[in-house]
Structure 1
Amino acid sequence: MSERITTPFGFGSTALEVVEGVDLSGRRAVVTGGASGIGVETVRALAAAGAEVTIAARNVEAGEQVAAEVSAATGNKNVLVAPLELTSQDSVKEFARSWDGPLHLLINNAGVMATPLTRTAEGWELQFATNHFGHFTLTLGLFDSLRAEGARVVNVSSAGHLSSPVVFDDIHFERREYDRWQAYGQSKTANILFGVEAGKRWTSEGITMNALMPGGILTALQRHITPEELAERIRLRGGDKPLQLKTPEQGAATTLVLAVSPLVEGRSGLYFEDCDEALPNTPGASNGLAAYAIDPEAAAQLWKVSEETLKVQA
């Protein structure tokens, strides 16, 4: 078993601190959901390090505003915007088809959380369709570009994965009562499992994939949660002491560690919290990594189910 990876960064580190002294000139990055929340700070840090960054956003106008602000702040004029609606397989496939040339960093950052029961046109539960299926199709669609020069894929997961494994016999809540937190949890577990199986399939292609928990951050992600429920969840997550929240700048730091740190070079299937590889979850704890989220059989099954459902292959 490999030694646990720890870095010089921690809970309070910011994305810009992580990339300080890093030169990403000539590197190309895509950040899904780069027009809001921690996505903005991820874009800012990558641009500050000299990368060409494409903001893949549902709201192109918001993306263009972020691109202009980041370019002005960093002096990097190569901050671009392209439309991407993760709940639309047509939109995802069009984004991948339109990408030209190599891609060195794919940050699967966009997501939805705790939505009321909503189904896509295909009948898929919205959170799983957005958080996993959308990014699965996108990543496989960009496979040749990622393979061209070796690349890192970073999946923004969550401690919410502790709420549920992927329930393969009823992923879309067709027979069980819908629970929005279990639905969110299994979609975040899928983000981690994706990297476990990708490590088996793609490391020889020069592509690695890892996942992370950004921390507790107040962003538009919580728009489906009442203030009272949010306060209660913060209390429960904190246990005996108040949960410490992060700023978006701090929340994006762990993403950047997985994107640029030499310590994770060549590694896949990892899950990081607070800029370090997470420890195993212990019963009753609200952090750490659930064993089912790195189960190789579940990872292989998820890949198979995803390919069959989405009719995509790399």
Structure 2
Amino acid sequence: MKTIVVTGGTSGIGQALSNTYLGRGDQVAIIAPDPVKGKKFLDTAQRAGAADRAVFIEADLSLISENRRVIAEIVDRFPVVDVLVLCARYFRSHRLVTSEGIEHNFALYYLSRYLLGYGLVDVMNKAEAPVVLNIAGPGVGAPSIYWSDLGLERDYDGWTAMFQGGRLNDLLGVSFAEGGSTRRARYVLLFPGGTRTGFAGEFDAPTAAHITQMKRAARPVEFTVPPILEVIDAPPREPLSAFVDGTPLSLLHPAFDKAAAARLDRITRELLRDKASA
């Protein structure tokens, strides 16, 4: 029996993966902010006779403090974590700053994935073949990174924030994989292609109309999940790999620049130190 941890596990791809692994007999912990959806997950597990293998952790992962609480709870509950699936994301047409003073998209889409990946290293190192699966958009439509304004305070746009988040996760994968023997988990960046999920967010009218069109052209989630399962169950041997709609992406792509990854890692560590001492 494996232990699977899924952020954003109450909807879309995260929900489908969580239910699939429960059905296989694995232990699944999902992390999401909505207690009503969390109860539905637990009720579904109970009806399937899997209540003892299902865990719901309610948390707002846009907050550093919540990520640290979640990490502590997971480490306390599970001596080993085999798979960490990072799905949580929330689109915002208008800029929002968290109570900790960080732009919401940067906090949830990038910083949370940074914290959870590094925070669970020790319990993942104990697994036989650990995998971190980061559902993002590797190398896809990525604009330049706004290094002097990562929170897009001067010129915020929801799509720019989302695409920049994808770029930041590309670099996160690079820096994580550079850990060598100290981090045994294979890091997989994956864009599954257009998928008909809830696409959680708060949208202005033009964005809402565009999202509706995207959903009409997208594939149902049941067609997206099987290829993802294959990557998790038989991950590439390389420390880092990236896939776009099932096709491997060369790590020579500019999105995976090692110098940029090191720069982002330094900025992130400084940010976290500043917030810890505040």
Counterpart position of 1:36:
11
RMSD: 2.8
Q: Deviations over 1:180-211 (max 9, x none)?
A: 11111111111222111111114553222111
**CA drift at 1:104:** 0.8
Q: Who is 2:266 aligned against? A: 304
Task: Assess, with a 3 A threshold, how the Cα gap between structure 1 residues 55 and 180 changes in structure 2: closer, same or farther.
Answer: same
Q: How does 1:1-314 map to 2 (within 5 A)?
A: 26-70=1-45, 72-73=47-48, 75-77=49-51, 78-99=53-74, 100=76, 101-149=79-127, 150-158=129-137, 161-174=140-153, 176-203=154-181, 205-225=183-203, 229=207, 232=210, 244-262=217-235, 264=236, 266-278=237-249, 291-311=253-273
**8 A Cα contact 2:81 2:124, kept in partner:** yes
TM-score, normalisation: structure 2: 0.85
**198-207 vs 103-112, greater mean Cα deviation:** 198-207
Ranges in structure 1 where 5+ consecutive residues have no aligned partner: 1-25, 281-288
Could you report, residue by residue, the CA deviation over 1:104-147 in whole angstroms, capped at 9, with x for unpaired residues? 10001111124311111233221111001012112222121111
Following superposition, which runs of at least 4 residues in structure 1 exceed 6 angstroms of deviation? Answer: none
Specify the SS of the correspondent of 1:221: coil
Percent same amino acid among aligned pairs?
Answer: 24
Amino acid paired to 1:152:
V
User: Aligned partners of 2:99 and 2:205: how far apart in 1?
Assistant: 30
Structure with more relative contact order (C-alpha pairs < 8 Å, separation 6 or more): 1
**Which TM-score applies when normalising by structure 1?**
0.76
Q: CA deviation at 1:234?
A: 8.0
Q: Structure 1 residues 230 and 270, CA, compared in 2 at 3 Å: closer, same or farther?
A: farther
Q: In structure 2, list runs of 5 or more residues that go unmatched.
A: none
Q: Deviations over 1:9-39 (max 9, x none)?
A: xxxxxxxxxxxxxxxxx21010001011211
SS at match of 1:162: coil
